[in-house]
Amino acid sequence: MKFSTKAIHNGQKPDATSGAIIPPIYMTSTYVQESPGNTKGYDYTRAGNPNFTNLEEALASLEEGKYATIFSSGLGAITALISTLKSGDKVLATNDLYGGTYRIFTRVFSQFNIQFETINTQDLKEVEMKMSEKPKFILIESPTNPLLNISDIAAISTIAKKHGVMVVVDNTFASSYFQNPLLLGADVVMHSTTKYIGGHSDTIGGLLVTNDLELKQKFDFGRMAIGLNPSPFDAWLTSRSIKTLGVRMERHAENAMKVAEFFEQHPKVKKVFYPGLKSHPNHEIAMKQMKGFSGIVSVEFNCDLETTKKLISSLHIFSLAESLGGVESLVDHPASMTHASIPKAEREKIGLADGLVRFSVGIENIEDIIADIENALAKI
């Protein structure tokens, strides 16, 4: 089956009792056992729930994987991943990393002697050199948040496999619709399902997908043991949302390309970051491993920081808010919002300027989106 058919039908069997075409929400904490230890597959919702099972079946298929585990958040998924490590283990990661991921490694798990280092994963020579340090896994964001850098997932996977290093790809920005890292050689794919997979800014969740049964069992154990489970209702909402993931992503990408092209021609814009533009330094790699370029556009304007803040505060269709990937357009100032937990010196080292602005382009009418940006730019 093709993507959108799987998104509508996998994990969405009609209710056997009533015939309801949409499976019910199993709002239960516990389950009656036929005899001690003899269950119908579930004993306590922290460990499992039919809504979890349904969503995991669907999301695994959309990532072209065998096994999926859902969590309470993207950081919950990362916590479960880290729970497979032991004291002294090392992790490498993309240097242009989401602030929350950076924070959990450097301010939480560093206390337990989990070694963490960010590198330039766009530089394959640096990746190869760092493999000699025997990291347990390398965590790649591609596209990255918020600079939209692209790493060659297939090439890094080939290098890592030579050294017995696991490859984990945060696929949140691309979505399962535009990129499938398991097909490129990755071992684990993660998502904040809060973003494009959920797509409506009304639920928080995380996801890990793999073809390795042993890893799946470890992820399930981490969810149960640490208490990283979502609610059944959030799982049900996400199952509802993925039915439209394909059509939403097409519109996000179509609108984002037009916004990026508009910005690229505007005299008040210093630099545009969007992998769909031929001017993007990794455009050819993006063309090779992605089926589309998603809906995030980052921009530096030809003005000082205070003017930039005034500009993004005067938008109307774009709401000034954290997060991304919803049907509505959002605008974010990474240095003071989503990436404030990364020290300024570290931000500057990777090129994340204080004046950078991240636009999550929604699925509204493109003429209205462009008009909103034009009106705001005319005020500075």
Catalytic residue among 43, 46, 90, 268: 46
Structure tokens at 73: 């958040």
Catalytic residue among 6, 195, 216, 347: 195
Rg (CA), the chain: 21
Structure tokens at 176: 């399962």
Residue 82 backbone phi and psi in degrees, to 5 = -65, -30
Specify the DSSP element, H or E, that contains 244.
none
> Is residue 187 annotated as a catalytic residue, yes or no?
no
Angle at 77 between CA 169 and CA 168, to 5 degrees: 20
Q: Which letter, b or e, does each residue of 315-338 get, where b requires 16 or more Cβ atoms within 10 Å of its Cβ?
A: bebbeeeebbbbeebbbbbbbebb
> Is residue 170 annotated as a catalytic residue, yes or no?
yes
Catalytic residue among 170, 220, 332, 372: 170
CA distance 227 to 80: 10
Asked whether the beta carbons of 193 and 70 are under 8 A apart, the reply is yes
> Is residue 223 annotated as a catalytic residue, yes or no?
no
> Is residue 195 annotated as a catalytic residue, yes or no?
yes
Catalytic residue among 26, 42, 98, 196: 98
Asked whether the beta carbons of 207 and 59 are under 8 A apart, the reply is yes
For the annotated catalytic residues, the residue numbers are 46, 98, 170, 195
